[in-house]
Amino acid sequence: MAKIVDIINKAETTHSLTKEEIVDLLRCDEYDQQLFLAADRVRSQYVGDQVHLRGLIEFSNICQQNCFYCGLRKENTKVKRYKLTPDTIIDLADKAKSYNYKTVVLQSGESQSYTVADMQYIIRSIKALGLAITLSLGEKSRDEYQFYKEAGADRYLLRIETTNSRIYKELHPGMSFENRLRCLQDLKDLGYELGTGCLVGLPNQTMECLADDILFFKSLDADMIGLGPFIPNADTPLAQERGGTFNTSIKVMAITRLLLPDANIPATTAMETLDKNGRIIALQSGANVVMPNVTEGEYRKMYMLYPGKICVNDTPKHCVSCITGKIQGIGRHISTEFGFRQSKKLTNNLQEYAEKERNM
């Protein structure tokens, strides 16, 4: 199918595709290697051969939401809940700095377990260490986002999970797709480096849905895009679903790289749960970021979003050594920079997208 090769060439040279062209790429597996090589070339051209390491601190698994796919959902009574103290979180960030991380990612379930004052203290203290800070705390008010930005937060990761509003509502009881879009708009307006992303392989998700997701990332001009396969958790309502595949997840990631050439795209741990070389394959197919876990002890096992999560028995020191060796083994090198997005465009079509959704 010469047509598929032409679509790949178009994506590599123009960084633009129609929805129909993206669907054609996703449905055809014959030219996957050409797709992955094109994404790797674009990655090398726009963001270079360095890999940014972000130290992930999973500081609480308490969550007030009931997302059907997530092991941390409020109604999962099998989870042993925990909440690290502010000073423990700051100490973990200090240790991350000692491993030469330039960024820490503060991630938790969505809850009110920490006050705004708590988070401001944590953010200011970590910022004083000379680290960049990414937050992943879920949906908050615009005021909270602003307080965290003023305290020193640099980035915020809020995955849309799916841009199909019907599927979103089915999987997120008590939540609002419109509010999710509002949060993303607020974060963008406030000047955060904005991260979003999706789950690949959700129930009732089609290739057309995934194409819409990719085009949403493009319309949002997201600075970071986190993609990974949906992995069914036995303690959730989606326990018996099939889940996503590694190959489709990598294809979505590669197409995303072609359309957003200068964005930061992580090789996610969920990919390595499905393939033992998942993160390296991702790095060779468009990714340029890895987020090793710097949480210590039993908490690694207690932050169980999905089954089979890798590295839960490892120490943070072992993790950085392991991933560094793998990265160097494919001819890449660890970045010594903070890893902010370069050549950032100033488009913002999110309001237009939200209006389109309301009128559908």
pLDDT at position 308? 85
Structural domain count, the chain: 1
Helices and strands, counts by H and E, the chain: 15, 8
pLDDT at position 56? 97
Q: Distance (Å, rounded) from C-alpha 43 to C-alpha 49?
A: 8
Which pTM value belongs to this model?
0.94
pLDDT at position 292? 95
Domain range for 105: 2-359
Question: What CATH number does residue 341 fall under?
Answer: 3.20.20.70
Identity of residue 308? G
Helices (H), the chain: 2-14, 19-27, 32-47, 86-98, 116-127, 142-151, 165-171, 177-189, 207-220, 246-259, 269-274, 278-283, 299-302, 316-329, 350-359
What is the full per-residue pLDDT of the chain (360 aa) written as tens digits? 679 999 999 999 999 999 999 999 999 999 999 999 999 999 999 999 999 999 999 999 999 999 999 999 999 999 999 999 999 999 999 999 999 999 999 999 999 999 999 999 999 999 999 999 999 999 999 999 999 999 999 999 999 999 999 999 999 999 999 999 999 999 999 999 999 999 999 999 999 999 999 999 999 999 999 999 999 999 999 999 999 999 999 999 999 999 999 999 999 999 999 999 999 999 999 999 999 999 998 999 999 999 888 888 889 888 999 999 999 999 999 999 999 998 654 444 455 545 555 555
